[in-house]
Structure 1
Amino acid sequence: MYISNVTIKNFRSFDYTSIDFHEGINVLIGHNNSGKSNLLRALAIIFDNSVRKQLSVDDFNNSLTIEELKASPKIVISVSLTQSNNEDLMGDELVTVSNWLTKLQEPYEAKIQYEFFLPIGEEEKYVAAVKNASSRNEIWDIIKNQFIRLYINKTWVGNPENQISVDNDSLSKFDFQFLDAIRDVERDMFSGKNTLLKNVIDFFIDYDIKSDKSITEGEQKQKLRERKDNFSTDSHILIKNIQQRLESGNKEILSYTDGIGASYDKSEPDFEGNITESEIYTVLQLIVKQETGMTIPITHNGLGYNNLIFMSLLLAKMQVDSDGKYLGNNAKVFPILAIEEPEAHLHPTMQNEFIKFLKNNIDNKKVKQIFITSHSTHISSATELDDIICLYTNDGKRNVSYPGQVFTEAKSKKYVQRFLDATKSNMLFAEKIIFVEGIAEQLLLHVFAEYLGIPLEKYHVAVISVGGKYFEHFLHLFDSNNDGTINRRIACITDLDPMRKEKQSDEDKQKNSFKACYPFEYEANLKEFHYSRNTSMDQYLNDKHSNIKAFIQPEKYGKTLEYQIVLDNPSLELLITDSISNKIELNDLMELYKDDKPLTELLNRLSDSKENTRIKSSLQNANERWTEDNKKKALIASRYLNSIGKGENALELAATLKDNLELKGKDEYKNFVVPDYINKAIQWVCE
């Protein structure tokens, strides 16, 4: 079986939230205060015997209205368990929850529910006490001062309406191990005096015999008895040796007992004893044994490695506690491991190894179910989409998303899983997202936002490159029209990319394909060319979608980001970076534009090349919609676009624009116009 759902009402950050789980690993991700830790604590209240069941006023959800508080508030944590695939129905799991069942047909379902409430007999007094209260704070003070001490907790199994109390023997079969984010692993594991390490050693001593399947149980017991007898003999020799070494000193010790009167009635003190195996454990200490043969105390080891070692010991202990042959009826049936923020002490590479380690333990059935909370992009990128559960807030409400369940096409799911690296997986944590096509946009967006006075970090906006026009794959995760998605405001910035191809006979069509063209060429010669542009995001234009919106260059003049930057800043020499080619020509073109020279002078300044001849011809033949000023700006933008290498230029341009921004308010500052479609995208996503 496995924990398939937890429903939480009025507990801490949860007003009313239902969360589904699956077998194996469940990775709970989300930004700070999204409810991840409180979810684990809700599970611990039910399954961890060491957790205090009696709660306080501070454990209630504080969003309850005055009207809701007119009746006494109640905390409810309800956990559903479901039959696993290939589960042995004759095994201990079904027996353990036999009184918890709410559905007998396969797959069976069971329920356990914790409630923290004011007894019915006190309700009338409560209603009278809060009747005239005018604020929530006043009611909470009344609860704290007069009623919280009267609250009780109960745990029901099966249908909660039947109020069947949980059998503690059944509940004790669950082994809930919770590692919180702040933990002292050095205190917990470094000496055999510690119960955890002692239990692990006691189970795994002579494991070569205990795990030997080639011999019978009787032969195992015989071999183990022989080793214990050998140990007893050896330990007796050690004790005898100590006694012999004490023989003369013992006489001196006894002389004092004679003098003080401790020896009487023909009796006197002496020394004897024996050593058990478990007593030897207390002198054992964990060490780090290096390849050179040198050893160092584990206290000198890195905290991250010690956390991994501790977790491995904890899993070993869970294996001990669930071994029926070793513990008989005291063995645990359902081991659960809950880990809060494992990234707290782990290097990114170790985080990847950590996830692999846990998966192996699930596969090897060392633990039934694992719950991890994290806001590490390295953890999320190393995790399968199906294992991720995203907790987030929207309009003050806790919401749940299941990224692995939102895809209608397997192709999109595979694409997102493959490309969800540590950078891109930040989209699962961000409050708002701007998707862009490539590295150039990703490098420049933050600088553009600063020019607009809207720092993206302040608004918790992540800028994610999708590596081309592959927005739709990722948008499955955020489409609020579908269930289980992450309802976030998503802006997609894409290029218009006008294209054309020659009209040819049918037999030549296979050889002919669309090629990029300039905006002033678009639909200029309908007799000879077919035209096309990027329409992949049209369904998200003009507020057609509730939470996803596309932003693109103007249909008449647009092409790409770099083209648009110069089109909007045709005389800004600051844009001519070190890596760009044709610097002198571009600088001259910008000067000519600044001096308001005619188009013919700009055309004459172009160097001779096949591409420049095309630009000249196309501009001269552009239709009447293109004014001379538009043609001059398009000329400079076209030459700029043909002179850059995208990645390197974007990096240099971002640095140059950043430096220019530092000069704002000084004479040296150059005015830079952020392209309008990007301006609108940033403004909209940050609303």
Structure 2
Amino acid sequence: MYLEQIDVEDFRSIANASVHLNRELTVLVGENSSGKSNFIEAIRLLTDPLDGRRTRYLSREDLFRRPEAAMVTLRASYSGSTEDLAPYHHAIPLGTANATFTLTYTPPPPTVVRGRTDWIAGNGADPSDPTPKARERIRHVYLPALRDAVRDLGSSTATGVQMIIESLIAEADRTPPLNGQLNNRDQLLAHAHEHFRHIQNHKLLDDAARRVAEPLAQLTRGAYEQNTGLGFEAATIQSLARSLRVRMADSGLDPRDIADSGMGYANLLYIAHVLTQLNAAAEADLTLLLVEEPEAHLHPPLQTLLMDYLREAASNSRTGAPSGDWRGHIQVVVTSHAPSLAASTHVTDLVVLQRRLRRTPARRDGPAEQQQQTERRPAGDTTPPAGSIKPEGEWAKYETAAATVAQMNLDTQHIHKLNRYLDATRSSLLFSPRVILVEGIADALILPAAAKRLFPAGSLERARFLGTVLVPIDGVDFDPYVSVLLTEVNGARAAQRVAVITDGDQQNAVQKADDEPAFDRTGAPRIAALTTLISGLGATGHANVFHSTTTLEPELLGAGNTDAIWVAWSKQQPRAWTTIKTAIDAITAIEDRKKAFAKSMSDKELRKGDFAQDFLEAAGPAWNVPGYMQDALRWVTAEINQ
């Protein structure tokens, strides 16, 4: 069993958006204020905490700020086998396979304190949830961002250790003890009592008890004389657990207090501790582990290990037999700002959230749902919807949009390529609405310098460029990146403005990997194919292809940067460069000069990355940016108004 989809309407930054979740692990990524935490909050409201101590309730402030917003609507759709969903049969609409629960909240008018909360099972044919106890079988554990692992382990250790010990006792007691033997619980408590008694008999403790007993006897001898002693409370599993503390150290060393360990390892210990509790208790059909920013305090290799661990824990929870009346399944939902963490998981586990300029689409369920909302209001309530009493200046300017990669129906080869290529640098393309895709490292080195040359310090364009993600793809196969950024899902795309900068070279070469068809690297057909792909995705207003007539270095030469170009060449060929320069300078037509320069550079096998570095060093702050590069930079930094 797992939470397959969550639909959110008029909640915090979300006017109307849906997220499809994977059975084991889903990672919500995006820029700040894109709505990641708000989806986590929605799941917390739709499910009960595992320990039963709810701390999150809906309030008036949760209503999205738009004139037509009258109530918050949160909907959870659960998928699973027939056996998994048996306790929720009342929530499965006829003709469907998923159990659905909807939570609505109508804020109170200004003079009233409490709003109205309603639960609906299934398609809402019944105006309320007839079996609310079933929802208690679905739980969550929430790990907030910037948690204090040392403090949390200290405050939660007793309960967690007790749960683990009780689980181990239950497992061991499945084998009845031999005649005359104690069961496992009594064996442990007898062992503890014996050691406590031995400690109590120590001479220093006995002397301490006498020190207290002497004045007590003096004070009470005129009435009923009293005596005293020191001893431990009666041993129980709970009292033993309260006395224990989780400790940790490097392998091979004696464990020490976790306060002496690094914060990163303490956080990993805390997450491992929580997962152990979940497996030990398993007192739910489904427990959603909600982890905000697990990368906090972790360096990139530990982030990768953590994601593998979380996925494996969720997977393992589905392999064993159900524990008593519970299915015991675990599903993990993570929010992250870290490109390296996003890169350590499968691309189809990612959901990209974006801030978008607010649109005003029709409500998801249309007039019928609006009528249903009206009917659920108390009889005679003629007060305007809560949202309508706000001044016009308080309406939200932005809203959250969600693009679920798993729902993009990407080509299998594209998925394979993205999984191979989304390393720590390239995965940052999922964290900004503005993206520039370039062929290689030379372009990636030149473009930031070009933006500084083109846009004055403090300008809006300079600021927008700094907020743009620049992605060198190490080749010319832009299709997978364009597809994942521009495929529309539920009205949302992963990016809003994508500039592809490529060469218009005429090198008739073919690149081919073992698991993919030949890819034509010829300039003009490739550029035409890219344009066709963008058009086919319905993203013409969201993407543009900018290209040179040759390659980057000849274009820098053609733009009038002759001196810096030849200084850069001389760094790699201190002797032969003058002969090449003389031959190139003898060509009159600029396009012919550029083509000859490109051929010579290829023949001499100059290192493009080094050439770009040397060029920028020689050029200094004053150099000419090629026209196609200027066009790309101006376009990608323009106002986004779609």
TM bin, normalised by shorter chain, reads 0.7 to 0.9
Q: Report if the CA contact (8 A) 2:429-2:435 is conserved.
A: yes
Q: Which amino acid aligns with 1:535?
A: P
Task: Pick from 219, 229, 234 the counterpart of residue 275 of structure 1.
Answer: 234
**Are 1:439 and 2:441 an aligned pair?**
yes
Q: Which amino acid aligns with 1:421?
A: D
Q: How many Å apart are 1:117 and its aligned residue?
A: 1.2
Q: Which amino acid aligns with 1:79?
A: A
How does 1:118-197 map onto structure 2 within 5 Å?
Answer: 118=107, 146-147=110-111, 149-160=113-124, 162-165=126-129, 169-190=133-154, 194=155, 196-197=156-157
Do the aligned partners of residues 429 and 3 (structure 1) sit closer, same or farther apart at CA in structure 2, a change above 3 Å counting? same
The residue aligned with 1:497 is: 505
Q: How many Å apart are 1:633 and its aligned residue?
A: 6.3
What is the CA deviation profile of residues 217-256 of structure 1, one whole-angstrom value per residue up to 9, with x for unaligned ones? Answer: 56699541552364265146337625x8766776665553
Distance 1:247 1:548 in 2: 82
Q: How many Å apart are 1:173 and its aligned residue?
A: 2.7
Q: Which amino acid aligns with 2:289?
A: L
What is the CA deviation profile of residues 394-425 of structure 1, one whole-angstrom value per residue up to 9, with x for unaligned ones? Answer: 33342211223324421121111111111111
Q: How many Å apart are 1:534 and its aligned residue?
A: 3.8
Do the aligned partners of residues 35 and 562 (structure 1) sit closer, same or farther apart at CA in structure 2, a change above 3 Å counting? same
**Are 1:547 and 2:542 an aligned pair?**
yes
Q: Report if the CA contact (8 A) 2:314-2:329 is conserved.
A: yes
Do the aligned partners of residues 433 and 247 (structure 1) sit closer, same or farther apart at CA in structure 2, a change above 3 Å counting? closer
How does 1:220-619 map onto structure 2 within 5 Å?
Answer: 222-225=182-185, 227-228=187-188, 230-231=190-191, 234-235=194-195, 237-238=197-198, 241=201, 253-261=212-220, 264=223, 268-271=226-229, 274-277=233-236, 278-291=238-251, 293-322=253-282, 331-365=283-317, 367-395=329-357, 396-453=398-455, 454-455=461-462, 458=465, 460-480=467-487, 485-499=493-507, 533-541=523-531, 545-553=540-548, 558-569=549-560, 571-573=562-564, 575-577=566-568, 580-581=571-572, 603=583
Q: Which amino acid aligns with 1:200?
A: G
SS at match of 1:467: coil
Q: Report if the CA contact (8 A) 1:9-1:75 is conserved.
A: yes
Do the aligned partners of residues 268 and 352 (structure 1) sit closer, same or farther apart at CA in structure 2, a change above 3 Å counting? same
TM-score normalized by the length of structure 1: 0.73
The residue aligned with 1:94 is: 86
Segments of 5+ residues of structure 2 without an aligned counterpart are 318-327, 358-397, 456-460, 510-517
Q: How many Å apart are 1:573 and its aligned residue?
A: 3.9
Task: Pick from 152, 155, 175 the counterpart of residue 216 of structure 1.
Answer: 175
Q: How many Å apart are 1:631 and its aligned residue?
A: 4.9
Q: How many Å apart are 1:641 and its aligned residue?
A: 5.9
The residue aligned with 2:3 is: 3
Q: Report if the CA contact (8 A) 1:404-1:413 is conserved.
A: no
Do the aligned partners of residues 251 and 227 (structure 1) sit closer, same or farther apart at CA in structure 2, a change above 3 Å counting? closer
How does 1:28-107 map onto structure 2 within 5 Å?
Answer: 28-47=28-47, 48=49, 49-52=52-55, 54-62=57-65, 64-65=66-67, 68=68, 73-82=70-79, 84=80, 87=81, 89=83, 94-95=86-87, 97-99=88-90, 101-103=91-93, 107=97
Q: How many Å apart are 1:23 and its aligned residue?
A: 0.8
Distance 2:479 2:227 in 1: 87
Do the aligned partners of residues 655 and 402 (structure 1) sit closer, same or farther apart at CA in structure 2, a change above 3 Å counting? farther
Segments of 5+ residues of structure 1 without an aligned counterpart are 120-142, 323-330, 502-512, 517-531, 591-601, 607-615, 620-626, 662-669
The residue aligned with 1:504 is: none
**Are 1:112 and 2:101 an aligned pair?**
yes
Distance 1:374 1:407 in 2: 24
What is the CA deviation profile of residues 565-594 of structure 1, one whole-angstrom value per residue up to 9, with x for unaligned ones? Answer: 11222633465227644557756887xxxx
Distance 2:508 2:140 in 1: 64
Distance 1:515 1:358 in 2: 40
Q: Report if the CA contact (8 A) 1:116-1:152 is conserved.
A: yes
Q: Report if the CA contact (8 A) 1:377-1:422 is conserved.
A: yes
Distance 1:206 1:402 in 2: 40
Distance 2:485 2:338 in 1: 20
Alignment length, in residue pairs? 562
Do the aligned partners of residues 575 and 451 (structure 1) sit closer, same or farther apart at CA in structure 2, a change above 3 Å counting? farther
Q: How many Å apart are 1:28 and its aligned residue?
A: 0.6
**Are 1:677 and 2:628 an aligned pair?**
yes
Higher relative contact order (CA 8 A, sep 6+): 2
What is the CA deviation profile of residues 367-389 of structure 1, one whole-angstrom value per residue up to 9, with x for unaligned ones? Answer: 52111001110111011112111
Distance 1:677 1:284 in 2: 67
Q: Which amino acid aligns with 1:40?
A: I
What is the CA deviation profile of residues 133-173 of structure 1, one whole-angstrom value per residue up to 9, with x for unaligned ones? Answer: xxxxxxxxxx5xx2451423233333435232475643333
% identical equivalent positions: 20
The residue aligned with 2:637 is: 686
Q: How many Å apart are 1:349 and its aligned residue?
A: 1.0
SS at match of 1:681: helix
Distance 1:282 1:584 in 2: 78
Q: How many Å apart are 1:300 and its aligned residue?
A: 1.1
Do the aligned partners of residues 448 and 263 (structure 1) sit closer, same or farther apart at CA in structure 2, a change above 3 Å counting? same
SS at match of 2:400: strand
Q: Report if the CA contact (8 A) 1:432-1:460 is conserved.
A: yes
Question: Mean Cα displacement is larger for which, 445-454 or 50-59?
Answer: 50-59
Question: Mean Cα displacement is larger for which, 442-451 or 638-647?
Answer: 638-647
Q: Which amino acid aligns with 1:260?
A: L
Distance 1:249 1:446 in 2: 74
Higher CA-based Rg: 1
Do the aligned partners of residues 249 and 373 (structure 1) sit closer, same or farther apart at CA in structure 2, a change above 3 Å counting? closer
Distance 1:393 1:546 in 2: 18
Q: How many Å apart are 1:105 and its aligned residue?
A: 5.8
Q: Which amino acid aligns with 1:679?
A: Q
Question: Mean Cα displacement is larger for which, 466-475 or 563-572?
Answer: 563-572
Distance 1:344 1:560 in 2: 42
Q: Which amino acid aligns with 1:155?
A: W
Question: Mean Cα displacement is larger for which, 541-550 or 169-178?
Answer: 541-550
Q: Report if the CA contact (8 A) 2:307-2:345 is conserved.
A: yes
Q: Report if the CA contact (8 A) 2:9-2:15 is conserved.
A: yes
